[in-house]
Amino acid sequence: MRRQGSSVPPLRFGLNLPPVLPPRMQIGLAKVTEYLGFDFVWLADHMLFPNLLPCPDAWTLIAAAAPHTKRIIFGTGVSDAHRMHPAVLAQRIATTDQLAKGRIVLGLGSGEAMNLDPFGIPWDRKVRRVKESVAVLKGLLESDEPLNYSGDFYRTRSARLRVRPYKARKIPLYLAALGPLMQKFAGEVADGWLPVSIPPDQWARAFEPIRESALACGRNPDDIDRIAHIVVALSPNEEKILDMLQHHALGVVWPPVMERLGIQLEHAEELRRINYMTVNPCDDAQRERFEELQMSIPRDVLRRMTAIGDVPKLRRVIGEYVDAGATHIHFTNASLDPTATVTLAAEIIPYFKRRTAPFTVAFLNAGVTMLRRAGVVREADPDAGIEWVKKQQ
């Protein structure tokens, strides 16, 4: 799936910032992520999470962190087309891109109930709203001409913005395209594909509708940045990590996607109604049932959706995605060892980029490896970590 001369670099690496951490800590982690050599940092653009843990505003965090970095690219994983009028979102994107000096990408999806239903924000005809939002965004961000647009949801009349992206650049659009209509649209307009976790043996199949759509409208699908989202954990204790991930299983295993890929789940009918996209965490009964359904996700399915183990195992799993055509590896780091990100930077990124790790990163990794072996650095208790997060708010 690779092509010589493609506008997409051979392989890039991104890292999710833990969204529940206090804002100042997330800003510091963005700086560390750049120092360690990651190419992207992704921030969740949520109002709520199913577990009702805190979630700061992604665009505020980007605006605060961007001026303190020089190279790393910031993206939302993902924003939706419903909470904000596209003209307001366009102004926000252009402003943050000025602060970042051209290092913003927009991750956009069709929305989730947890960010909309409790606040009375409509999200009917989701794909149509996304399409109209993208049309207005592009019209305002990519042209100096007044925008006249008339759609079902948005209308503009001789509209223009007086703030533009840095050096009038085009803001790359990454679509979280999972369903057939969104995937068709992604093939037509997206610069990148930002899916949920998909097993490596199914990843190429999941991208195929986007590839076909791109070809049908005369685009080269190899020019689309193709992300593989991987929940990783550097740990010798797979069962301990799976115990922790079981409480977040429906954020890793998306039943509608599993169904389309032919992966059977227990409670399939109920999971069509109650899943990560549809749960309203402010409805106590629904949230409790959601938590019960998470515990029903089989361990073998959860294991298939994650990469847990030592460095050679992680390299093998990542290599399967690369062989399938991924051009961008997007990590959610579920390691209980807080220094694991250093090892990802020192032993995973250089391996796939076919270069040696920078001396400072390699030196730092050697130090934390010694501390692990000496028992000074150990895996944390996830329950204690959650309690610590709550105390910081």
In the chain, the N- to C-terminal Cα span, in Å, equals 45
Element (H, E) at 200: helix 200-216
Give, in degrees to the nearest 5, the angle at Cα 324 between 307 and 353: 70
Q: What is the pLDDT of residue 258?
A: 87
Q: What is the C-alpha to C-alpha distance for residues 161 and 144, in angstroms, rounded to an integer?
A: 8
Q: What is the pLDDT of residue 379?
A: 87
State both tokens at 89: 């979102």
Instruction: Name the domain count of the chain.
Output: 1
Q: What is the pLDDT of residue 5?
A: 42
**Mean pLDDT in residue range 288-307:** 96
List pLDDT tens digits, range 329-352.
999 999 999 899 999 999 999 999
Q: What is the pLDDT of residue 253?
A: 95
Residue 7 lies in a domain: no
Question: Among 176-185, 252-261, 330-339, 356-365, which is the least confidently predicted range?
Answer: 252-261
Comparing CA positions, the residue from 38, 77, 34 lying closest to residue 55 is 77
Q: What is the pLDDT of residue 10?
A: 73
Residue 3 lies in a domain: no
Peptide bond between residue 78 and the one before it cis (omega within 30 degrees of 0): yes
Q: Which CATH number goes with the domain that contains 107?
A: 3.20.20.30
273 contacts 227 by C-beta, under 8 angstroms: no
Q: What is the pLDDT of residue 338?
A: 86
Q: What is the C-alpha to C-alpha distance for residues 63 and 153, in angstroms, rounded to an integer?
A: 28
List pLDDT tens digits, range 49-101.
999 988 999 999 999 999 999 999 999 999 999 999 999 999 999 999 999 99
Q: What is the C-alpha to C-alpha distance for residues 16 and 77, in angstroms, rounded to an integer?
A: 8
Q: What is the pLDDT of residue 2?
A: 43
State both tokens at 342: 């250093």
Residue 219 lies in a domain: yes
Q: What is the pLDDT of residue 387?
A: 63
Query: Residue 287: pLDDT above 70?
Result: yes
Q: What is the C-alpha to C-alpha distance for residues 306 and 238, in angstroms, rounded to an integer?
A: 10
Residue 1 lies in a domain: no
List pLDDT tens digits, range 227-256.
999 999 999 999 999 999 999 999 999 998
Query: Residue 370: pLDDT above 50?
Result: yes
Sequence-distant (≥ 6) Cβ neighbours of residue 5 within 8 angstroms: none
**What are 80's strand-pairing partners?**
109
CB-facing half-sphere around the CA of 314: CA atoms within 13 A: 29
Mean pLDDT rounded to a whole number for the chain: 94
List pLDDT tens digits, range 149-166.
999 999 999 999 999 999
Q: How confident is the model at residue 378 (pLDDT cuts 50, 70, 90)?
A: confident
List pLDDT tens digits, range 304-324.
999 999 999 999 999 999 999
* SS3 call for 137: helix
Query: Residue 8: pLDDT above 70?
Result: no
Question: Could you tell me the CA-to-CA distances from 150 to 158, 162, 243, 255 in Å, in that order?
Answer: 11, 21, 50, 36
Residue 2 lies in a domain: no
Query: Residue 218: pLDDT above 90?
Result: yes
Residue 4 lies in a domain: no
Position 196, amino acid: V
Q: What is the pLDDT of residue 304?
A: 94
Boundaries of domain holding 112? 12-392
**What angle do the packed helices 58-65 and 23-36 form, to 10 degrees?**
50
Residue 386 lies in a domain: yes
φ, ψ dihedrals at 250, nearest 5°: -80, -5
Q: What is the C-alpha to C-alpha distance for residues 179 and 165, in angstroms, rounded to an integer?
A: 30
Position 76, amino acid: T
Residue indicated by tokens 């999971």: 271
Q: What is the pLDDT of residue 385?
A: 61
| DSSP state letters, 169-193 | PPPPEEE---SHHHHHHHHHH-SEE
pLDDT-above-70 percentage for the chain: 95
